[in-house]
Every structure is written in C-alpha cells, then in structure tokens.
Amino acid sequence: MRKEDTDMTVVSKAKLKPGVVTGKEYQTLVQACKEGGYTLPAVNVVGTNSINAVLEAARKNNSDVIIQLSNGGAEFYAGKGFPDSFQAKVLGAVSAAKHVHLMAQHYGVCVVMHTDHANKKLIPWVEALLNHSEQYFRETGRPLFSSHMLDLSEEPLEENLSECARILKRAAAMDISIEIELGITGGEEDGVGSDDDALDNPSLYTQPQDVLQAYELLSPLGHFSVAASFGNVHGVYAPGNVKLRPEILKNSQDLVQATHKTGPKPLNLVFHGGSGSEQSKIEEAMSYGVFKMNIDTDLQFAFAHEIGEYVKKNPKAFQYQIDPETQTPYKKIYDPRKWLRAGEEGMINRLDEAFRVLQSVGKSLAQ
Ligand SMILES: [Zn+2]
C-alpha cells in the first residue's frame, strides 16, 4: 500500500467489473469495505462444488466475496491420486483460479482470489504460484491471484518481515497483494494449542509495535494486509475458550495513524479463526478495519450436515441401485448431482448468515 492509497477518500461510490479483482480494483474493494464498515467472508474451497456454491451465495446476496485455497485444498483440487504432492498443490491452485476467473464474471460479483496460510516450508508453493501468475500476466495483463498469504508468524519477527518484503516486491510487480501474519493464531489448523494459559501468552496477541514495524517496511513496497492475533483460534471450541480482544486491532490502527499521519484505519486487517465468535466481538473487530474474515470450519460442517440429512432421508438409495422389495430404481436419488447439491445448499444457507453478520449484503461493487 503506497501512501496515497492509505487515505480514506474517493472510493465509496466506486463500481467495478464483475470477475476476479486484482491490483487497483482489489484495493478499491478493500477500501470500500473499510469505509462502508463491512467485511467479506473468505471461504476455503476444495473443488468446483464449493467454488460454485460460494459464487451462487455471493450473487444471491449481491455481495462480493473472497475465495481462498489452503495448500491442502489446492492439492485436493488437483486430485488425491495426483502423482506428485507439491505439483498437485501448485496445479490445483492454478486450476481453481482459472475456474474462478472464467465463472466469476458471469455470476456477476467481484471475487478476490487468494491463497491461505503458507508457512516457511510452503514459501516455494507461493513462489511457484507467482511463476504461474507471471505467465498468465504476460498472456492477459492480469495475475491469477489477487493476493497470497505468507504465514511466517512462527519465525522471529525480523525474519518474518524480511521474507514478506522479498516476496511482496516480486508480487507487487504484477499487481498481487500479500497477507501477512503477526502473532500466532491458536487452534487446530496451525497446530498451536489453545491452553488455559493462552491469555498470558503475549505471542498469541499481536503487539501494535510489531504492526507498525511491518507497515514501515512493507507499505513502500506494495499492497498488503495483516492477520493480527487478538485471541482468535482456528476451529470451533467450547464456549468461553475464545477470548477475543479486538481492541488490539484498534490500537494497531491508531499507532500507525498517529505515527505516520495517515487517514483513519490505514491497515487492512484480516480476522482468522472467526468460527464460533460472539457477534458483538465480530462487530467490534469489523469497525476497526477488518475487511476479510476467514470462514472454513462452519462451512465444512454445513456442507457435510446437509449431505448427512439427505442420506438419512434416503438410506436405501445408498445401498441398492434398485429396491430389492419394491423394484423401485434409485438412480434419481444416488445421482451425485442430488447429494452434492444438498451439500452446496448447506454451504449457501450458512453463507447467507455470514453475509448478513458481516453486513456485506447488497454491497457488491460489481456493475
Ligand atoms: Zn488462518
């Protein structure tokens, strides 16, 4: 993010072409979220079923949306039987991005195409995706992805930031943004426990001073967003285990604004591990400039739950092609288009709720 991009001006009435947004269009969308006080759900996808469900739900709610792939989701997209696991992570992500580029414009919403957590081991994955974007950029003038996440929060701060700077230089040259992580988000996905003493552990809470340091190093290089830890955890835990302190986000914004005399909310903030959070804390976080909230666990459950209900309602169709007693053929019921559609509908219904809670309904910039 260059200095002029941080000023809270212009964009509230901006309109964009539907489809994957990158570069300036992506920045316009981020800014519109922060100015408008709303947040876009970022949904982890694993195949065309989940991608199309997200696009359908976004269109239905007239909201823009963020589609993201974890390295595991990308690998699954390429196929579990693909012979080379690293290649599968790369080609699966490229294939998914191309599907979204083609389809999103016809669904009529703006879509941010993003990759999720990449720790130190997975930096080569991100770099391979940048290679693919370079080729796509030469062919079309656009990158494949709007942004990539680099999660080097387990490394010392200096190393985290210098590696982010190195990648951002390369990414920014083709209009790609990055998301960085400062402080460690707890929970299953990262293999970081959520112990009772977590509240006393300063590494679980991002320090505003560190965010300022990131801003000073990265903002001259390109556009970036920050996943800050404020007590959030991945996955769903029993009530009371998630003790959010969104004021950490506000303190970070205020420190950067005061130090560099920027407009309000100079940072682009991301909320990880939001599943199961109290609505009042979500709203508070949103008001501090959170433009992206990751939703994975709840949507996995929504997809699985509806398929489970479908199977419960039609148990025989999952055991017999033709009913052994009545001779009824069950082809119309076991057709994967029926039960996969049930899963998609489960996701769409849960996304309706997400768009509502995140207050993005009716706010698509697509025209
Ligand atoms: Zn995360």
DSSP-assigned letters across all residues of 75-102: HHHH-TT-S-HHHHHHHHHHHHHHHHHH
Q: How many CB atoms lie within 10 A of CB 35?
A: 19
Q: pLDDT averaged over the chain?
A: 91
In whole angstroms, give the CA distance from residue 103 to residue 51: 10
**Which domains does the chain carry?**
3-297 (3.20.20.70)
Ligand 1 midpoint to CA 234 (Å):
6
pLDDT of 1 above 70:
no
In whole angstroms, give the CA distance from residue 251 to residue 208: 6
Over residues 31-58, mean pLDDT: 97
Q: Looking at 5, 64, 84, 116, which residue is catalytic?
A: 116
Query: What interhelical angle do 208-218 and 157-172 show, nearest 10?
Result: 30
Over residues 117-131, mean pLDDT: 98
Ligand 1 midpoint to CA 345 (Å):
24
For residues 45 and 18, the answer to whether their CB atoms sit within 8 Å is no
Ligand 1 midpoint to CA 116 (Å):
7
Tell me the pTM.
0.92
In whole angstroms, give the CA distance from residue 70 to residue 124: 14
DSSP 8-class letter at 235? S
Residues with CB under 5 A from ligand 1 (ion): 272
pLDDT of 3 above 60:
no
Q: What are phi and psi of 44, to 5 degrees?
A: -75, 130
CA proximity to 104, closest of 148, 50, 38, 59? 59
The pLDDT tens digits of the residues spanning 275-333 come to 777 889 899 999 999 999 999 999 999 999 999 999 999 999 999 999 999 999 999 99
Q: What is the pLDDT of residue 4?
A: 46
Ligand 1 midpoint to CA 114 (Å):
12
Ligand 1 midpoint to CA 255 (Å):
24
Q: How far is CA 155 from CA 106, 158, 181, 303, in A?
A: 41, 8, 11, 35
The pLDDT tens digits of the residues spanning 4-18 come to 444 444 455 789 999
Segment of 38-47, 198-207, 224-233 carrying the highest mean pLDDT: 38-47
Q: What is the pLDDT of residue 183?
A: 82
Supply the DSSP string of 164-227, one letter for each residue.
HHHHHHHHHTTT-EEEEEES--EETTTTB---GGGGG-GGGB--HHHHHHHHHHHTTT--EEEE
Share of the chain above pLDDT 90, in %: 82
Q: How far is CA 86 from CA 52, 130, 135, 145, 302, in A?
A: 25, 15, 19, 18, 29
Is 116 one of the annotated active-site residues of the chain? yes
For residues 231 and 205, the answer to whether their CB atoms sit within 8 Å is yes
Over residues 32-38, mean pLDDT: 96
Ligand 1 midpoint to CA 147 (Å):
14
Task: Please say whether the dihedral angle defined by the alpha carbons of residues 65, 284, 252 and 244, taken in this order, is positive or negative.
Answer: negative
For residues 144 and 98, the answer to whether their CB atoms sit within 8 Å is yes
Q: What b-and-e string marks burial along 70-94, b requiring 16 or more CB atoms within 10 Å of the CB? A: bbbbbbbbbeeeeeeeeebbbbbbb
**N-terminal to C-terminal alpha carbon distance within the chain:** 25
Which helix (H) or strand (E) is 67 found in, with range?
strand 65-69
Ligand 1 midpoint to CA 118 (Å):
10
Assigned token pair, 335: 């057709």
Q: Which residue in this structure is represented by tokens 């977590």?
A: 198
Assigned token pair, 207: 């320090």
Q: What are phi and psi of 109, to 5 degrees?
A: -125, 165
Percent helix, strand, coil in the chain, to 5, is 50, 15, 35
Q: How confident is the model at residue 244 (pLDDT cuts 50, 70, 90)?
A: confident
